Structure 1
Amino acid sequence: MSDHQPPRSSRPGGPRRPAGHRARAGGSARPVPRSPRQGPTAGSTPTRALPVSEEPDAGIRSGSSTRAEAGHDPVAPPPPGPARSTRRRSRFPRPLRLGATLMVLVLVVVVGWVAGLVLWADSRIEHVDALSGIENTEGTTYLIAGSDRRGGDAVDDDGTEGARTDTIMLLHKARNGNSYLISLPRDTLVDIPGRGGYKLNAAYAFGGAPLLVETVEEFTGLTIDHYVEIGFDGVSGMVDAVDHVNLCIDRDVDDKKSGLSMTEGCHDVGGEQALAFVRARYFDPTADIGRQQRQQQFVSALMDRVTSPAVLLNPFSQVKLAGAGSDSLVTSEGTGIFTVGRMALTARSAMSAGTLTMPVENPEFQTQNSGVAILTDDADIATFFDSVEDGSAEATAADGA
């Protein structure tokens, strides 16, 4: 034991520092107790474990309280961080979501384009009060007339006054779903209400669309639901709008009156030759019978072309077709562009199923005042159109020429 006293702390009344203590006098350092592994030293007091609080922040509060009692500012706990996002992951991969969004945008654009085109075309159609309003028959029946207005761009002025209907077709969709497209030869001898016996196309010359509708209803027994008139200028324009149609003929033809000039076989033709194909009849010994077959072939070819991807997917062709079609159409009240579209689809269905030919008793019947006409039998006509109305008529396969 040394005789020297350990130096005192610089603080008056402070404890003496043990020998060998290297802390600076007046410092705040305190001797560190030995590790329990080294065992207690002689004369030392065992260190007592601090009580453990059950509250997780008890130590913080205790330290804060102690510092507060010692005159120091309490240390506040750190502020809580931002809540971690718990965004739910989609069950669909990102490329699939992007593809679906793109499809929706494309659909919106397409629907908007079609709606705008329909409204524009519908506003250009001329309407006429053509329907008779008689009691309706089963199914839906369209009367399609090709008007031959002289003085237009497509038909030269040949001295004929007024307008004629060179093409008259009856399109019927029965309730059982069967569709039929039937040509009514313009030279068919019929009874025109208020006029007597004349050729069918004279009804249009006498009283326009209303008298033609009434005459056809009386002749066929079918109620006309929609009247659609197409000017021959429109036939040429619609074909040019879709670039061409494919037509077939079974002989070489060079007809000066109609302007038809074709060699035997099938050809892609433009509007001028398509119009001549529809109108030509003098080169054909069957006259109107042969012409009505060519008219049906033209309708089928036009529908095939209109519904082809080259036209349906081409906005420029759509605009040209809608403009040419609406400019040349005259329809009954309430018959708009949507109805004309349904008519086109019905005609396509009818042509794919085959053709129907109206029964004829005498194709060269000599009349007193109207020259040669087509004579029909009333009983045969009634039976024929009854089968058309109920959908039981059997079409024959089209020969394509």
Structure 2
Amino acid sequence: MSLLVLVVAVVAVGAWLYVSANRQLRHMDALAGYAGRPAAGKGTNWLLVGSDSRSTLTPQQRRDLHVGNNQVRNTDTIMVLHYGDHGPSLVSLPRDSYVPIPGHGSRKINEAYADGGPKLLTRTVEQATGLRIDRYAEVNFLGFVQVVDALDGVRLCLDKPLRDEKSGADFPAGCREMNGTQALAYVRARYTDPDGDLGRVKRQRQLLGAVADEMASPDVYLDPSRLKRVLDTSLAAVTVDDGADLARVLDMGWSMKRIAGGGGTATTVPVLRPGVMVSGVGSVLRWDETGARRLFQALRNDDRIPTSGDK
């Protein structure tokens, strides 16, 4: 009887948390129809965006996070998460990718967000990849820090030391627990990384996997008070498209958890070579058109994606 009471109590708490969380979920108008939009393929495609908007940061937070007062809204993270009949796939689109932005010519892909917000970024990604984006999720600077802190930090392992004065990163090689500020510094570092933007996207995927793994740990979901704190913080940090509900967000989170546990694939869109200078644009990454076409065709067909061993 005591076991039955416990099960009923857990189910009741879970149902209450679900209803409460669904009411808190924030939405935005991020997807739009237009002439020539790619047709829907098999499976579901999420566009995951990390916004570097600083409008919500206090002066002290800007100092702690090593960011200035620039209010231009760009994106530090752009990823496509796909899931269907096969294991989930996560593809990073480096922010310096040189692609056509509708109405603005060819520029770095992250500038689409500054030029036209989520709708233009989504359209840019769709036209560059040939994929129909079904769902959209965005996390901002401060929200990201608060989510990691609500989890009491995440464990990350470095193969070699990482130091970057501009991001605030200063970490020795080895494994360590990082709080939100440290984790943000870790993923934003790129100026002292010989791989530049490509190195940063690897760290972004590593951190997303660590966060998803920690969120799905028994220490969180078996502790109702901690679970509520993590849910409340996460829901305050994320904004999704108008058609996404909590069930779809949980599907997305579960797919990220599977990737973190080795049950999926993570890679970066193939590039020809880094650091190509374009007049009036700066240093950009040009995609390998043949490799990129094969990758996105596999996603459209819900096939296993080709990778180069890039995790």
1:363 aligned counterpart, secondary structure: coil
Q: For residue 383 of structure 1, what is the amino acid of its counterpart?
A: R
1:251 aligned counterpart, secondary structure: coil
Q: For residue 16 of structure 2, what is the amino acid of its counterpart?
A: G
Match of 1:196 in 2: 105
Q: For residue 201 of structure 2, what is the amino acid of its counterpart?
A: Q
1:188-224 Cα deviation digits (max 9, x unpaired) = 0010111111100000001111111111011111111
Please give the alpha-carbon distance, in whole angstroms, between the structure 1 residues aligned to 2:189 and 2:227.
Answer: 29
Q: State the percentage of identical aligned residues.
A: 36
- Of residues 304, 307, 310, the one that matches 1:392 is 304
Richer in helix (by share): 2
1:282 aligned counterpart, secondary structure: coil
Please give the alpha-carbon distance, in whole angstroms, between the structure 2 residues aligned to 1:195 and 1:189.
Answer: 12
Give the gaps of 5 or more residues in structure 2.
none
Match of 2:42 in 1: 138
Match of 1:380 in 2: 291
- The offset of 1:159, in angstroms, is 4.0
1:352-375 Cα deviation digits (max 9, x unpaired) = 134222110121111111100001
Please give the alpha-carbon distance, in whole angstroms, between the structure 2 residues aligned to 1:255 and 1:317.
Answer: 33
- Of residues 155, 160, 172, the one that matches 2:70 is 160
Q: For residue 153 of structure 2, what is the amino acid of its counterpart?
A: H
Are the structure 2 counterparts of residues 397 and 313 from structure 1 closer, same or farther at C-alpha, using a change threshold of 3 Å? farther
Are the structure 2 counterparts of residues 155 and 374 from structure 1 closer, same or farther at C-alpha, using a change threshold of 3 Å? farther
TM-score (norm 2): 0.90
Instruction: Work out whether residues 216 and 257 of structure 2, in 8 Å CA contact, stay in contact via their aligned partners in 1.
Output: no
1:21-48 Cα deviation digits (max 9, x unpaired) = xxxxxxxxxxxxxxxxxxxxxxxxxxxx
**RCO higher in structure (CA 8 A, sep ≥6):** 2
Q: For residue 29 of structure 2, what is the amino acid of its counterpart?
A: D
Greater alpha carbon shift after TM alignment, 246-255 vs 162-171:
246-255
Alignment of 1:99-178 (within 5 A): 99=1, 102-133=2-33, 134=37, 135-151=39-55, 152-153=57-58, 154-155=61-62, 158-174=68-84, 176-178=85-87
Alignment of 1:136-285 (within 5 A): 136-151=40-55, 152-153=57-58, 154-155=61-62, 158-174=68-84, 176-285=85-194
Are the structure 2 counterparts of residues 131 and 244 from structure 1 closer, same or farther at C-alpha, using a change threshold of 3 Å? same
Please give the alpha-carbon distance, in whole angstroms, between the structure 2 residues aligned to 1:319 and 1:216.
Answer: 34
Instruction: Work out whether residues 53 and 72 of structure 2, in 8 Å CA contact, stay in contact via their aligned partners in 1.
Output: yes
Richer in strand (by share): 2
TM-score (norm 1): 0.70
1:149 aligned counterpart, secondary structure: coil
1:82-113 Cα deviation digits (max 9, x unpaired) = xxxxxxxxxxxxxxxxx3xx444333322221
Instruction: Work out whether residues 354 and 398 of structure 1, in 8 Å CA contact, stay in contact via their aligned partners in 2.
Output: no
1:331-387 Cα deviation digits (max 9, x unpaired) = 101212222211111122234134222110121111111100001133332222112
Match of 1:16 in 2: none
Please give the alpha-carbon distance, in whole angstroms, between the structure 2 residues aligned to 1:126 and 1:328.
Answer: 9
Match of 1:369 in 2: 280
- The offset of 1:118, in angstroms, is 2.2
Instruction: Work out whether residues 62 and 69 of structure 2, in 8 Å CA contact, stay in contact via their aligned partners in 1.
Output: no
Instruction: Work out whether residues 52 and 140 of structure 2, in 8 Å CA contact, stay in contact via their aligned partners in 1.
Output: yes
Instruction: Work out whether residues 158 and 175 of structure 2, in 8 Å CA contact, stay in contact via their aligned partners in 1.
Output: yes
- The offset of 1:142, in angstroms, is 0.6
2:81 aligned counterpart, secondary structure: strand
Please give the alpha-carbon distance, in whole angstroms, between the structure 2 residues aligned to 1:207 and 1:155.
Answer: 25
- The offset of 1:132, in angstroms, is 2.4
- Of residues 232, 240, 246, the one that matches 1:331 is 240
Please give the alpha-carbon distance, in whole angstroms, between the structure 1 residues aligned to 2:107 and 2:47.
Answer: 19
Instruction: Work out whether residues 94 and 201 of structure 2, in 8 Å CA contact, stay in contact via their aligned partners in 1.
Output: yes
- The offset of 1:162, in angstroms, is 2.6
Match of 1:63 in 2: none
Instruction: Work out whether residues 167 and 185 of structure 1, in 8 Å CA contact, stay in contact via their aligned partners in 2.
Output: yes
State how many pairs are aligned.
298
Please give the alpha-carbon distance, in whole angstroms, between the structure 1 residues aligned to 2:75 and 2:296.
Answer: 22
RMSD of equivalent CA atoms: 1.9
Match of 1:13 in 2: none
